[in-house]
Amino acid sequence: MDFDAKLIPLHRHPLGFIEAFCSLGARQEELLKGTGISPATFDMQEVYISYNQIHALIRNGIRLCPLPAVGVHVGMRFDWCFWGPVGFAVYCSPSLKDAAEAFKRYMVTAQPFYTMVASQPNAYLDADNRVVEPLDYPTADDRDPMVRQFIHEFRLAVSLRIWDMCGNKSVDDPSIHVRLTTPKPEDTSLYDSLPCTSITFDCDESSISGQIDFAFKRFRLLRLRTFERLVRQCERELSRMPAHVTFADRVRWHIRAHFKPDINLEQVATQLSMTPRSLTRRLAGENASFRRILHEVRMEIASHQLRFSRLSVEDVSEITGFSCASSLRRAMKNWTGTTISQIREAVA
């Protein structure tokens, strides 16, 4: 990836970071020093900056706001408008699942690096009917430990706000539990103020989890049409992005977001407001096919579940649309070249 390429819309995450750091006491002039970002560009309509510029901005902010876990402070102050249209999903999504999938799918409009992240599974269903969202996926610059730590802290805060605002709190168990690889700090007051039920430090992975009904059961249905209009607006914006986001990418993200064992071409075409023939033709123009993409998504979800969850092979085969566990075992051997037992032993 070219870290000097100007790909990031200034008016989204960069201005959000500037506002948040300034609210924590940073002076704007000092914050922008050496970043190549000028206040004169704030009022311009289309301005883009590079990853090197936004990372310089973050490093300045960390230096000017010497607080423990400053990424958490920034994440709790970061306004939803700086995510673009998808930010407003927190107010109208009918479920946490819908909101999380929307943020994952349309985050590329603010952060193009996450094109690959959006195409891969992340959350998974564990035994005891808990949905688990890992927090340890790559950042745009894992070479800089300071920036990486900041982004992980920022991700924790923003993700918890989404869980808190979009989870269904009328279910029997609305608790939210956090596990962090971070050592337990002497002063835990900042973490105690986060919108979750419990936080456990010194874990082998960082994640957020909650019961499946909390994440999947729909509520505030009077806002559903507003959410659907918001998603259509996000899709239009996504379609205008540069060539690094292909139509096949959009179809892949859509299948993953709406995945069910019986999902088919007609359903996806209808959801994308086009005919099955048009969808097939556009994919063929990119040397792709719906059947191949669906198979890849199905196998990626199955592989992710097998690697990270405690679900039985039979349960994974059922939720991913295989006729039986034996069918999944054969498909996984063809897909990965290894057996399911070997996959799980390697993770263990």
* Averaged pLDDT for residues 272-300: 94
Burial class (CB in 10 A: 0-12, 13-18, 19+), 70: buried
* Averaged pLDDT for residues 184-207: 97
> Nearest Cα to 178, choosing from 135, 129, 149?
135
Query: For residue 34, how many other CB atoms are within 10 A of its CB?
Result: 11
> Is 139 a residue whose pLDDT tops 70?
no
Q: What percent of the chain has pLDDT over 90?
A: 77
pLDDT digits (tens, 9 = 90+) for 34-70: 999 999 999 998 899 999 999 999 999 999 999 999 9
* Per-residue pLDDT, 144: 86
> Is 116 a residue whose pLDDT tops 80?
no
Q: Show Cβ contacts of residue 144 under 8 Å, excluding neighbours closer than 6 positions.
A: 55, 59
198: β partners: 177
Q: What is the mean pLDDT of the chain?
A: 92
- Per-domain residue ranges of the chain: 8-66, 85-216, 246-348
Q: What percent of the chain has pLDDT over 70?
A: 96
pLDDT band at 244 (very low <50, low <70, confident <90, very high): low
* Per-residue pLDDT, 133: 95
* Per-residue pLDDT, 299: 95
Model pTM? 0.86
134: β partners: 207
pLDDT digits (tens, 9 = 90+) for 250-285: 899 889 888 888 999 999 999 888 999 999 999 999
Instruction: State whether residue 217 is helix, strand or coil.
Output: coil
> Nearest Cα to 194, choosing from 158, 168, 169?
158
Element (H, E) at 211: strand 207-211
Burial class (CB in 10 A: 0-12, 13-18, 19+), 52: middle
179: β partners: 200, 207
Contact 144, 123 (CB under 8 A): no
246-348 falls under which CATH superfamily?
Answer: Homeodomain-like (1.10.10.60)
Is 261 or 161 the better-scoring residue by pLDDT?
A: 161
* Averaged pLDDT for residues 100-106: 91
φ/ψ of 58, rounded to 5, equals -65, -45
